[in-house]
Chain A
């Protein structure tokens, strides 16, 4: 069977596209089975050419464009293959042509008006109406994946972590899982519990921050300040538990080294309970604020079908009715019996994405309450079923499924690839913007609240 046939039949069998990356000699596609198991399909590069799969999996569009730019590949059938990471080509190469009476472009960024990461948005508009949005990221491309090559597996973790402070734990855990799969280690129950605590702490501050951001986007200063205060409290819990406000360096490959005694765990659990109570009361206030609520529905709509086609992940996908959550199939983490939640109104708009955060927060606080019932102990991973040159890890970050692929040779990284929830969702933001008014874009964008850093790497 050809590469394209293998991908097509896997997708027919219910597997979903989870990422594509290139090396000098091959292009690999990660697919995820309904039970969460990962499968890898590869195709050899001939004459710098490989067949495209973008017609089979639309979600592969950015991945192929990135591989084309960074490895000089041609994807046969991907027409036009617009540059993504490459910035040296002029406007007409990387924008979708939009013609017609009164159509013009609005250029925003890379420097934005607030404290926001760098990235460029090219809006094609008529009046206030957005016809199309070309998002041009990678201003922050630091070549982290290439820089990690040749490092030991333990050293490589810093590169995955530093891709993004807001997803530091998610990226680190995905990386650790990938490395452990590659060297044949299996994290034991205690490592799983510690990592789950860290992942949920990251989700807690992140979701609180996202609610604050939407309040800011809608001009509700009191709501923004309220949830910013809660975000600060959540970061302080992080610092008290791990010594770092963004939980840096708390995840390690093959073991868990960080120890928290009974008193500190109990204190953290109490803090989390208090943040949870205040967050619930703040959320109730937002629900009863009519002028705020009026601002949210029916803008930036992503239908369930579009979410599935574009490969949307995380809270944004779930707010559109795609119920996938890596946590329900994470056998290497302590999410037994996890069932994804949904907002009351699964409309795929700004309101649904905001409420998705609020209901997920309740789950996160409950999980933390359950998991923080005893001290966190150091632990070593146990030997699993052999190793392999390539390891994969997939974790639910606050912004959605994050895939990490590690190719290693005698404990050294030959290739590191990170496909984060933000990376998957950026094309979805562009899609959600079309048809809306330009002044609504900041709010639509904030309802996704994606990172630029871990998309750019």
Chain B
């Protein structure tokens, strides 16, 4: 165990990822709507020590009810349309939808037309498109950072996420946003 941990410490020093310049936070929920499993494998490695997407306060959460962002991979199959919509409906506002990978964007899709609904935007409003077959871990991280920062500025829809690193502060921020929206 000591060797494992020492090795990981050494790796962290060698990779020397820059520390985040400020606190960010995004809760992500992934839904596979009909992928080839490539985007999943790359999204998984976005958490490896070489990319460490968690350093920005971005993490995969187990339920859409806890999520700011719905990350959708794959072309949407007829069978995944309803589960995808159910996940989206379960999310609290404000929320964002990210189409991850070429299939999700409707590019170069290989499929029988009768089995698929189409790209993610045929089912849900898409806020961010991340191209690539599949997009690499650094590409995914950068796109999510852009989404977060645009969300904070409120470029697209109600402001998203929080700048404070603490979960409690963030929650307060969200409640205020919620009130603002209701008034608006």
Smallest CB-CB separation from A137: which chain B residue? Answer: B79
Q: Is the CB of A245 within 8 A of B42?
A: yes
Say yes or no: B4 contacts A226, CB within 8 Å: yes
**A88's closest neighbor in chain B, by CB?**
B79
CB distance from B108 to the nearest CB of A (A): 9
Does chain A have a CB within 8 A of B172? no
Q: Is A424 an interface residue (CB 8 A)?
A: no
B80 near A142: Cβ-Cβ < 8 Å: no
Q: B44–A228 contact, CB under 8 A?
A: yes
Q: Quick one: which of B47, B60, B77, B115 contacts A228, CB cutoff 8 A?
A: B47
Q: Is B19 an interface residue, CB under 8 A from the partner? A: no
**Given A142-B111, A147-B110, A166-B41, A114 and B62 contact (CB-CB distance below 8 Å):** yes
Say whether B37 contacts A285, CB under 8 Å: no
Closest A residue to B11 by beta carbon equals A229
- A87-129: CB near B (< 8 Å → 1, else 0) gives 1000000000000000000000011011111100000000000
Q: Does B118 sit within 8 A of A, measured CB to CB?
A: no
| Set A117, A222, A289: member contacting B37, Cβ < 8 A | A117
Additional A-B contact list (6), CB under 8 Å, known A139-B77, A164-B36, A281-B3:
A114-B62, A115-B40, A116-B32, A228-B45, A229-B8, A232-B48
Quick one: which of B153-181 are within 8 Å of A by CB? none
Contact string against A for B residues 104-127, beta-carbon threshold 8 Å, 1 for contact and 0 otherwise: 000000111011100000000000
A140 within 8 A of B: yes
Minimal beta-carbon separation of B79 from chain A (angstroms): 5
Quote the shortest CB–CB distance from B52 to chain A (angstroms): 9
Interface assignment of A146: CB less than 8 Å from any CB of chain B: yes
Query: A115-B44, A117-B32, A140-B32 known; A451 and B49 CB under 8 Å?
Result: no
B residues with a Cβ closer than 8 A to A are 1, 3-5, 7-8, 11, 30-45, 47-51, 60, 62-63, 74-75, 77, 79-80, 83, 87, 110-112, 114-116, 133-134, 136-137
With a cutoff of 8 Å between Cβ atoms, the chain A residues found around residue B60 in the complex are 114-115
Residues of the B chain whose Cβ atoms lie less than 8 Å from the Cβ of A282: 4, 7
B83 touches A278 (CB 8 A): no
Residue on A nearest B49 in the bound complex, by CB? A229
Within 8 A of B (CB), among A243-257: 245-246, 248
Chain B: minimal CB distance from A448 (Å): 15
B111 and A144: CB pair below 8 A? yes
- For A118, A138, A454, which residue has the most chain B Cβ atoms within 10 angstroms? A118
A143 to B62, CA, bound (A): 29
- How distant is the Cα of A138 from the Cα of B79 in the complex, in angstroms? 8
Within 8 Å CB of A146, what residues of B?
A: 112
A87/B133 in contact, CB under 8 A = no
Partner of A222, one of B4, B48, B50, B74: B4
**Chain A interface (Cβ within 8 Å of chain B)?**
87, 110-111, 113-118, 138-144, 146-148, 158-159, 162-166, 168, 209, 222-223, 225-226, 228-229, 231-232, 235, 245-246, 248, 278, 281-282, 284-285, 288-289, 451-454
List the B side residues contacting A141 at CB < 8 Å: 77, 79, 115
Contact of B80 among A118, A231, A232, A288 (CB under 8 A): A118
Name the residue of chain A whose CB is nearest to the CB of B101: A165
CB-defined contacts of A138 to chain B, threshold 8 Å: 79
For residue A157, give the distance in angstroms from its CB to the closest CB of chain B: 11
Which residues of B are found within 8 Å of A166, using beta-carbon distances?
A: 37-38, 41
- Does B35 lie within 8 Å of A453, measured CB to CB? yes
Compute how far the CA of A2 lies from the CA of B95 in the bound complex, rounded to whole angstroms: 61
CA distance A195 to B100 in the complex (A): 30
A228 cross-chain contacts in B, Cβ below 8 A: 44-45, 47-49
Residues of A within 8 A of B38 (CB): 165-166, 168, 246
B36 A163 Cβ-Cβ under 8 A: yes
Could you pull out 26 A-B pairs where Cβ atoms are within 8 angstroms? A110-B83, A111-B31, A114-B30, A114-B60, A115-B30, A115-B43, A118-B33, A139-B77, A141-B79, A141-B115, A143-B112, A144-B111, A146-B112, A147-B111, A168-B36, A225-B8, A226-B7, A226-B8, A232-B49, A232-B51, A246-B134, A248-B133, A288-B1, A289-B1, A451-B37, A453-B36
Pick the most buried of B11, B35, B39, B110: most chain A CB atoms within 10 A of its CB: B110
Q: In the complex, A113→B32 CA distance in Å?
A: 11
Partner of A117, one of B35, B136, B137: B35
Tell me if A143 and B80 are in contact (CB < 8 A).
no
Chain A residue at minimum C-beta to C-beta distance from B64? A111
> Which of B1, B32, B42, B77 touches A142 (beta carbons < 8 Å)?
B77
